[in-house]
Amino acid sequence: MTVLEVVTDAEELTLTVTAEFAATVDRVWQVWADPRSLERWWGPPGWTATFDTHEFRPGGRASYWMNGPDGTESRGWWHICAIDQPHRLEFEDGVADADGSRATSFGVTHVKVTLEPSGAGARMVLSSAFSSVDQLDQKVSAGIADDVRRAVEQIDAVLRR
């Protein structure tokens, strides 16, 4: 797998990661569709993720929590907007409070994942659209570009299983 590029576009309010994998589109799709596979790469290295809800269908929801190496806990949620298996997934992604309810102070990110055949494998484009310049700036300052890149780089190990 190779992360080909990570692009932050302040005009479009997006962060886009493009990667290629030595696996079929269907196999890469499974790292999104299967919550146990998703847990193995969702988040930066050293963080563990647990999806306690994963309703992988349009209108479905997901909820998860992550634990950092220093004991930090972070919770999040998804609302799945669209699925065109195995080529496109769109969902709203947000931060959750300690009890798992949606936190409103961090804004919502619209995530679009596309998969297509490429050479001997699959190309994945993961694009996150932010709701404002402030939200994008806050996330970029917190290191989201590197965190997403490092998370996507973990997919290779999941695909080898």
pLDDT digit string, tens, across residues 85-102? 999 999 999 989 887 778
Distance CA 104, CA 90 (A): 20
The reply to whether omega before 86 is within 30° of 0 (cis) is yes
Domain covering 2-123+131-159 in this structure, CATH number: 3.30.530.20
Mean pLDDT (the chain, rounded):
93
Instruction: State residue 50's pLDDT score.
Output: 96
Q: What is the pTM of this model?
A: 0.92
Q: 161 CB contacts (<8 Å, ≥6 apart)?
A: none
For the chain, what are the domain ranges? 2-123+131-159
Work out the average pLDDT over 118-122.
91
The pLDDT of residue 99: 77
Task: Tell me which H or E stretch contains 139.
Answer: helix 133-141
Confidence band (pLDDT; 50, 70, 90) for 120?
Answer: confident
For position 143, what pLDDT does the model report? 83
pLDDT band at 3 (very low <50, low <70, confident <90, very high): very high
For residues 80 and 149, give the distance between their C-alpha atoms in angstroms, rounded to a whole number.
22
Q: What span, in angstroms and rounded, lies between the C-alpha atoms of 156 and 161? A: 9
Instruction: Output the CA–CA distances (angstroms, integers) from residue 84 to 46, 61, 115, 130, 148, in the order listed.
Output: 31, 16, 10, 22, 23
CB count in 10 Å sphere of residue 57: 8
pLDDT in tens, 22-81: 999 999 999 999 999 999 999 989 999 999 999 999 999 999 999 999 999 999 999 999
Residue 101: predicted pLDDT: 76
Mean pLDDT of 134-149: 88
Taking a C-beta distance cutoff of 8 angstroms, is the pair 10, 108 a contact?
A: no
Distance (Å, rounded) from C-alpha 158 to C-alpha 161?
Answer: 6
Check pLDDT > 90 for residue 142.
Answer: no
Q: Note the pLDDT of residue 1.
A: 59
Residue listed under structure tokens 């919770």: 75
- One-letter amino acid of 44: P
Tokens 């570009």, residue located: 145
